[in-house]
Amino acid sequence: MSIEWLPFLASLSTLALIYGLLALGLNLHYGYTGLLNFGHVAFFAAGAFASALATLPPPGSPEYIAIGGKYTIGLGLPFLVGMGMAALAGGLLAFLIGLTSIRLTSHYLAIATFAMAEIFQAFLSNEEWLTRGVYGINVVPQPLKGTLVPVEQYTYFYLILTAAVVAVLLIFAQLLTESPFGRVLRGIREDELAARTLGKDTPRAKLIAFVLGGALAGIAGSLWTHSIGAVHVGQFVPIVTFQVWLAMLIGGAGNNVGVILGAFVLMLIREGTRFVSNIPGLDRFAASNPTFVPSLRFVLIGLLIVIVVRFFPNGLLPERRRRASRSRGGRP
Amino acid sequence: MSAILHVHHLSKHFGGVAAVDDCTFDVQEGTITGLIGPNGAGKTTTFNLITGVLKPDQGEIYFRDRLITGLSPDRIARLGLVRTFQIPRVFARMTVWENLMYAAPHHPGERVWKAPFKPLWIAHEKGYAEKAHAILEFLGLAHLTDEYAGTLSGGQRKLLELGRVLMMDPQVILLDEPMAGVNPTLRRTIIERIHELNEQGITFLIVEHDMEMIMSVSDEIVVMHYGHVLAAGKPEEVRRNPLVLEAYLGGAVI
Amino acid sequence: MLTELLQTLIFGLATAGVIAVGAVGLTLSYGVTRFVNFSYGELLTVGAYATFVLVHSGLPLAPAAALSAVLVGLLGVLVARVFYDPLREWGAFPLLITSIGVAFIIQNLLRMGFGSDPKRFPLPPMRPWHFGPLYIPKAQAIILVVALGTMLLIHLLLTYTLLGKMMRAASDNPVLARVSGINPQNISRVTWFVSSTIAGLAGVLLAITQVAIQPAMGWSFLLVIFAATLLGGIGRPYGAMLGALFVGLGIELGTAYIAANYTYAFAFIILVAVLVFRPQGIMGGIE
């Protein structure tokens, strides 16, 4: 193993953790509450742009000029504040989308969330004053890079940072889903009408779950944009949403640790396709068509979605049985 | 005794067909009241209207003299008016115990702000757990505590549904065909439990096709036909009512 | 002012024509499968590419389009058989997510074969007609004629043929249809074929309006078709035609008078509005 592998693995792991966090949010929507959210990428985008714009140096400032900035909005706030605003952006967008669609049944909820994500993307694409449209912003600040953390070590630093954030949020998610609130959500997933006749305010619970999942995706957006130092509306396309779905399904919907594991498996599979261009026979194809390998990757993603849903619907880590003795103080 | 539940000129149409048509009746507090009628008489629709699952086109529903028409199903359930379903709606991928705990009312652990902080709700959770276990013992389901509800038989699911609503300390329980598809042994159990709960003060309104059972169990009977009330009174009176006999085409069953 | 409005309306009608063909196909397939097929757009794309290949192999446009449509029809039946039929009794989610997977597979196979770059669709050059200040590109006229022709054919099929009546019966009341002796398997196959053939044809029409084809064309158009289908009432072919009219006009009017860059987004907004305020659409959707 030569030395270049290490930074590659590190950044791959960071990406896996970010997808894992996205999956954690989607797990809250679908795994626990049964909501078919086909627009998850929108919350990712909201968080990424919010964090980027919050942390970029203000236009006109010395830093702005030094980095050759062309964007129009920058608040120059610290990274953690940016992350907070990312959570708020994701949560707020989820609130707005949720208000309109939370009472829709499965098919229609899937279509509505998908459509609203597309509307949001069209909005981001066209409002250049906000996002610099097709050009994007590639001077997004990366916290502590070059100052406290040497540039060469930055990939490893960022991995640790991401791991810490995801770990905290995983614990938070786990506490939430193992609580009575999580139980309410699961009942909604099983049979919403029954849940209502047992006295639970299900529309409210669904909206809360939707907002929290959106906030988690927003934080993932913040981690993403600062990891690469750029944000561009073209990154936030539906295939991102469905790769998150795949990660969740592979890992096991309804299991928080499982979905993060699923994200790592997804990354492994994706990177595996890199070596296809080395297969004799296919390498000529790959050379003549630059989109060959990426497209093959997406064919594989599509195929995996079909296969996992049909043959491995429970994923790698199934949902745990919650036994009665736990709450009586006994061992599970 | 006063009418704990008063249904007043209730009507509900589905695409031109009147499922419930100017339906009026009372349920007296502390009674077991049977709601009978031929298939399609509108009994389940009436249940759905009373519990807020459907909104009536016309009419009002009063619970303890309080107007509850148009309230959401969860609101009505929290007021103490609960129901079970003809085909039991248990939470299949949750255990029997979890199904019961689900119904625990006013649980601070269900508030999203408090949920991640166990010490804020663990005492309530333990209290409800004790109650759940007591109910499971009472219903004879204790041996199934950690089993997934989806693995239960039809009769066991009916008992589970009853257990769930009992967690809410209800005042009125609407049972939709509690005997349907249940084996004779469990039937006896269910009937005995209904009596015991009734003695503790819970009012029952039961839809049932098993004539023998409903006539022997009920203090009062309401007969529905084509969406409205045909007759109401004590079982012996209703039994002899010529309109009722006619409705049942010779009334061999009664 | 008026000229501009009339011009916009004409373009709107042509757009509506393309949408209508696509929407009728989707709504017919919903009648049989009861799920909203996210891979439907890919059938349009395949129709466009198949025509492209056939024309470049020497066939004139019209026969190439017709042959492609039939090929897409067969593809649709095959895809349904392999991916969707086994999941029939599984519920909404598995079908929806599987159709997403199928969409990615088809679209990216096309991308692997043809590359991402838009390719010029082989249309013979045509001079537009001029009516005073208005100009009508011949292509738009062809689209309108083909679209109307297709809708007429569908109408005749559904109303006057035994097959059409069986399709309608199976769509309105599957249980009753089965009891009356209609074989659900066969009707399902035929409906998939008809719906997919129409989709292939819609793809050709779409390629004509867009002049160029690229692998994501059907996928990008999918929500527009959804908007028309749901606006009309899901499962209702005549509703789909009506919905397409409104959506087509909505897109052109919105693009001309509100914001030029948002195009399809106007359709998406109509879609969301339908779902939020009246999910059953104009004519009331089937269950």
Contacts of B85 in chain A (CB under 8 A): 194
Contact check, Cβ <8 Å, A306/C83? yes
Contact check, Cβ <8 Å, C101/A118? no
Q: What is the pLDDT of residues C76-98, one digit of tens each?
A: 999 999 999 999 888 889 999 99
pLDDT: which is higher, C265 or A91: A91
Q: How confident is the model at residue A3 (pLDDT cuts 50, 70, 90)?
A: low
The one-letter amino acid at A116: M
Chains A/C: 3 or more C-beta pairs closer than 8 A? Answer: yes
A98 close to A213: Cβ distance less than 8 angstroms = no
Could you count the other beta carbons within 10 Å of the beta carbon of residue A24? 31
Instruction: Return the closest-CA partner of residue B138 out of B102, B73, B189, B180.
Output: B189
Rg (CA), chain B: 19
Which residues in chain B (155-194) have CB-CB distances under 8 A to chain A? 164-165, 168
Domain ranges in chain C are 2-115+135-277
Q: What is the pLDDT of residues A98-113, one digit of tens each?
A: 998 888 988 899 999 9
In our burial notation (b when 16+ CB lie closer than 10 A, e otherwise), range A300-325 reads bbbebbbebbeeeeebbbebeebbbe
**A267 to each of A17, A37, A230, B75, B182, how far by Cα in Å?**
10, 22, 21, 46, 51
Contact check, Cβ <8 Å, A184/B125? no
Say yes or no: A99 contacts chain C, CB-CB below 8 A: no
Q: What is the pLDDT of residues A160-196, one digit of tens each?
A: 999 999 999 999 999 999 999 999 999 999 999 999 9
Contact check, Cβ <8 Å, A295/C109? yes
C224 close to C251: Cβ distance less than 8 angstroms = yes
Contact check, Cβ <8 Å, B125/A329? no
Q: In angstroms, rounded to a whole number, what is the distance separating the alpha carbons of residues B25 and A301?
A: 60
Q: How confident is the model at residue A329 (pLDDT cuts 50, 70, 90)?
A: very low
Chain A residues touching chain B at CB-CB below 8 Å: 172, 175-176, 179-184, 186-187, 190-191, 193-202, 208, 212, 319, 321-324, 327-329
For the question of an ipTM over 0.85, the answer is yes
∠ CA(B82), CA(B84), CA(B89), 5° rounding?
125
Mean pLDDT over B94-105 rounds to 95
The one-letter amino acid at C267: A
What pTM, to 2 d.p., does this model score?
0.92
- Return the bridge partners of B81, or none: B172
Q: Indicate which of A169, A175, A179 best probes the interface with B, i.e. most B CBs within 10 Å of its own CB.
A: A179
Give the nearest chain A residue to C114 (CA atoms). A289
**A255 to each of A205, A261, A266, how far by Cα in Å?**
19, 10, 16
Residue C129, pLDDT above cutoff 70: yes
A266 close to A300: Cβ distance less than 8 angstroms = no
The confidence score (pLDDT) of residue C64 equals 92
The confidence score (pLDDT) of residue B254 equals 45
pLDDT averaged over chain C?
Answer: 89
The confidence score (pLDDT) of residue A287 equals 67
Q: Nearest CB to C112: which of A114, A289, A313?
A: A289
Residue B1, pLDDT above cutoff 70: no
Residue C42 tokens, joined:
């890919």
Phi, psi at A170, each rounded to 5°:
-65, -45
Q: In angstroms, rounded to a whole number, what is the distance separating the alpha carbons of residues A292 and C115?
A: 7
Domain ranges in chain A are 5-237
Residue A177 tokens, joined:
């889903």
Residue B32, classed as helix, strand or coil, is strand
Say yes or no: B118 contacts chain A, CB-CB below 8 A: yes
Q: How confident is the model at residue C179 (pLDDT cuts 50, 70, 90)?
A: confident
Q: Nearest CB to B116: which of A179, A198, A208?
A: A179
- Beta-strand pair B220-225/B32-36: parallel
Residue C39, classed as helix, strand or coil, is coil
Rounding to the nearest 10 degrees, give the CA dihedral for residues A42, A47, A50, A51. -150
Residue B169, pLDDT above cutoff 80: yes
Contacts of C93 in chain A (CB under 8 A): 36, 106
Beta strand spans in A7-163 (E): none
Task: Name the fold adopted by B3-88+170-247.
Answer: Rossmann fold (3.40.50)
Q: How many residues in chain B?
A: 254
Residue A95 tokens, joined:
């609130």
Contacts of A321 in chain B (CB under 8 A): 95, 146, 148
Q: What is the pLDDT of residues A224-237, one digit of tens each?
A: 999 999 999 999 99
Say yes or no: A245 contacts chain C, CB-CB below 8 A: yes
Q: In angstroms, rounded to a whole number, what is the distance separating the alpha carbons of residues C32 and C28?
A: 7
Q: What is the pLDDT of residues B12-54, one digit of tens each?
A: 998 888 889 899 999 999 999 999 988 878 899 999 999 999 9
A40 close to A241: Cβ distance less than 8 angstroms = yes
Chains C/B: 3 or more C-beta pairs closer than 8 A? Answer: no
Mean pLDDT over C21-39 rounds to 91
B128 close to B164: Cβ distance less than 8 angstroms = no
CATH 1.10.3470 describes domain C2-115+135-277: yes
Which residues make Cβ contacts (< 8 Å) with residue B172, sequence separation at least 6? B4, B5, B27, B63, B80, B81, B82, B202, B203, B204, B205
C: neighbours with 3+ CB pairs under 8 Å? A
